[in-house]
Structure 1
Amino acid sequence: MEKNELIIKLKSIVEPYIQDEEAFKNLSEETDFVKDLKINSANLVDVILDVEDAFDIRIENDEMEQMVSVKAAMDIVNSKLK
């Protein structure tokens, strides 16, 4: 999946959970879900479940622990889609 396309899809997935509107407007690969978007750990689990549904993939527990940023999410999704 193309990088920009993936970022747009991830942005729509995380939008319901964000607490920092300004950081969300400037979302990029470097955006951290917890530090920048202020998504709490419970909602981060929801984000991961939504990512699984949106891309029809299964994310393992060790991958879930790594999925704390847009870049990490992109890497995991791309590896699962291959």
Structure 2
Amino acid sequence: MLIELVKVARFPGTSWLADVRTSFGHTAVRWCGDRAAEPGEYHVEWTIDEDIVWGRNAEPAAGIGPGLRTGGHCALCCGAG
């Protein structure tokens, strides 16, 4: 997915975080790329750190179409084919 990297930062006791913009919206995510990465466009691969279980950590999207939803944690909503 093509993203615009705004900045990469690390706060005490946390992972490296990236402030990114996508075609779906703007959010902060854990950054596993080059920590010296300059702002700009990058192609990235999103990964999910746990199994997806319907009803536990997966549910119907609360909006129309794909997007990023934030609040407590980040949710990536993908549309069906």
Say which one has the larger Rg.
2
Q: State the TM-score, normalizing by the size of structure 1.
A: 0.26
More strand by share: 2
Q: State the TM-score, normalizing by the size of structure 2.
A: 0.26
More helix by share: 1
Q: Which has the higher contact order (CA 8 A, sep 6+)?
A: 1
